[in-house]
Structure 1
């Protein structure tokens, strides 16, 4: 009907110039495409900094780039397990056609829900199991950890660093080992003491662990947990700390040496565009410094320019493929029980890195305790 009206109007205008199309007919236009609804599930509350903050910034980036083409929403503080399955299922039932689930413990719930909603696309962030409508992605956090270790090795006076760790999964072990290797690359006698929490987000426990490490002669501490409690503890004690996930100078202006930050906005926007244009495919992305998913910077005021320049130069080396944290160059790399884990002249492949279950020489503690 619309085409007939317009056709008659054009014909009449062309022949007589007196025909007047009604304002109602003229205002008609094809219906606009409904926005793509995108859901995000967060494992902790949205705070000012940390793991969830970086994913929230990525959600905002999707909104900023794609505007009215998308409509995003999130659910925060969702425990891994049954609660996660319920929330993911609710988001799918509410019409979200793309759902991001950024936590390792969301992997199985995501896969379970995905079977029941084959027309919904799921992004399992830090998961490793895919399906036709489930893609996985992760970042090479260990690359940033190695660089942070260089800064810690240059700045420590006691030669002892602490590490507050969540769970003994390969991702966390990779970070501890890379940090230690980076530290010992410039300070060969350096030691790293680990405290396992078996929690991702428990600010009081994170703070207590950091304080205990400071009491054991650590003057710099790193962490793999979800809050800013370790940074606040370092600020309180006049010690040094490595920010993780986000820049945390607002919380620890004097304590922060450097920040290892995760940049998810580009990836999330790319995946949303793929759904919009019909090119989304399942797959497995593992990006790092080279891909812009990991960045080290945001140096504290105590860090000399020479140290900053050294860290940034090594970051460029990683991006260029000249430096691989798990490459044995001058000698064998051994674990902290004396076994050779990387032979001289070789490097670990992705499959070996993803299955890492050991702690490198220089780490005091055991994988999992």
Structure 2
């Protein structure tokens, strides 16, 4: 063997060793890299409301996991094509766990999940899953029923106002649960609904609130994201029931309570599962019992006997003794939807497309 051959073999051996060493270092660095997490939100975070509550979940995982994770969030993402672009960008930027927090993100997330099979996706309020896409939701209707007890007890006009976003099952079941809670203590109570066809539009939400008050509603609630309803009711001297988060700073005198959402533990659990490499797609639907739904502190204007009724209903709900849609459930046309002695199924809840007795007007199709 020539000196040239020996030198060449030595050079090749050293190159191989250096390559192996660099790969080992790279592998070690990769193992130490933080888990990149992305959030796509339909509205601004603000200081109250739907997106604000999800952002509390973001803060909870940052506090829990520290430098093990790196989080990016994008606010005010329109539903539809723009949502797909944003979610795809989050995935292509290396985020390995992506949360989309609006119903209208569902189909875009399904499409992007198929294109990025090594990334984990979680969609809020939807129903579709893939091998790498799960969904999560809260039983908002349970909180609606409880707040309905307060509204039904305290209304003087027997007309309750409801500002609603879109006529999808999530919103419809909340309206229906609200009047059922109200009528459990006041059979004369009725609900008027104004649809604003937006999740976040403070101007239209305010206009809808004023319109409902002009139509005789003396307690207003909403299934929209901003604080405009509570603020407008406060200005008009009418009681309100907030939604998503405690909005009492916008209604210090007249907010009676708020139906609150709590996502922190869910987000912590999902991040932990990804870090532990145990994540699997699931469909989670948690309510009062699981701590995902609650009520904010009651206004002192709420009488003790009313507060006691709410607490008893909450305890019965947790114990499985009370379901907001326990039969008989009759729609506004008199058709029985749930028979006496039975509860509505989750499948039927997820497809709810009718108003129950006590709702004025027709449900938009």
CA-CA distance at 1:47 after TM superposition: 1.1
Deviation sequence 1:269-325 (CA, Å, 0-9, x none): 100000000000011111111111111232123112222222122112111111000
**Structure 2 partner of 1:35:** 34
Match of 1:343 in 2: 339
Q: How does 1:232-243 map to 2 (within 5 A)?
A: 232-243=231-242
Which residue is 1:121 aligned to?
Answer: 120
1:354 has 2:360 as partner? no
Deviations 1:69-96 (A, max 9, x none): 1111100010001111111011111110
Distance in 2 between residues matched to 1:198 and 1:30, nearest whole Å: 48
Q: 1:89 to 1:30 in 2, by over 3 A?
A: closer
The aligned counterpart of 1:226 is: 225
Mapped to 1, the partners of 2:30 and 2:363 lie a distance apart of 58
Structure 1 residues 126 and 31: CA distance shift in structure 2, 3 A: closer
Q: Does 1:365 align with 2:364?
A: no
Q: Give the TM-score normalised by the residue count of structure 2.
A: 0.90
4+ long deviations beyond 2 Å = 29-32
Structure 1 gaps, min length 5: 1-28
**Distance 1:32-1:134 versus aligned 2 partners, 3 A rule:** closer
Aligned equivalents of 1:41 and 1:130: distance in 2? 18
Cα displacement string for residues 100-156 of structure 1 (whole angstroms, at most 9, x for unaligned residues)? 001000000101111111110000111110000000111110000000000101111
- Which residue pairs with 2:173 in the alignment? 174
Please give the root-mean-square deviation of Cα atoms over the aligned residues, in Å: 1.3
Name the CA distance, whole Å, in 1 between partners of 2:330 and 2:345.
16
Query: Deviation at 1:30?
Result: 8.5
Distance 1:163 1:53 in 2: 21
Counterparts in 2 of 1:30 and 1:238: CA distance versus 1, 3 Å = closer
CA contact (8 A) 1:200 1:225 kept: yes
1:46 matched to 2:45? The reply is: yes
Which residue matches 1:302? Answer: 301
Q: CA deviation at 1:31?
A: 8.1
Q: CA deviation at 1:56?
A: 0.6
Q: How does 1:85-234 map to 2 (within 5 A)?
A: 85-234=84-233
SS across alignment from 1:208? helix
Is residue 81 of structure 2 the alignment partner of residue 79 of structure 1? no
Match of 2:19 in 1: none
The residue that corresponds to 1:279 in the other structure is 278
The SS at the match of 2:66 is: helix
**Partners of 1:296 and 1:315 within 8 A in 2:** no
- Separation in 2 of the partners of 1:54 and 1:282? 23
The Cα shift of 1:334 comes to 1.3
Post-superposition offset of 1:33 = 1.4
Describe the SS at the equivalent of 1:119: coil
Report the counterpart of residue 320 of structure 1 in structure 2. 319
**Count of residues in Structure 1 that have an aligned counterpart in Structure 2:** 338
Q: Relative to structure 1, is the Cα distance of residues 341 and 32 closer, same or farther in structure 2, using a 3 angstrom cutoff?
A: closer
Give the Å deviation of 1:34. Answer: 1.0
Unpaired runs of 5+ residues, structure 2, are 1-27
Q: Provide the rounded CA distance (Å) in 2 between the counterparts of 1:136 and 1:148.
A: 26
Per the alignment, residue 16 of structure 1 pairs with none
Q: CA 1:190 to 1:247, structure 2 compared with 1: closer, same or farther past 3 Å? A: same
Preserved CA contact (<8 Å) 1:254 1:301: no
Q: Distance in 2 between matches of 1:76 and 1:43?
A: 6
Cα distance in 1 for partners of 2:235, 2:29 equals 61
- Distance in 2 (CA, whole Å) between partners of 1:32 and 1:133 is 21
* 3-state SS of 2:184 partner: helix
Q: Which moved more, 1:292-301 or 1:122-131?
A: 292-301
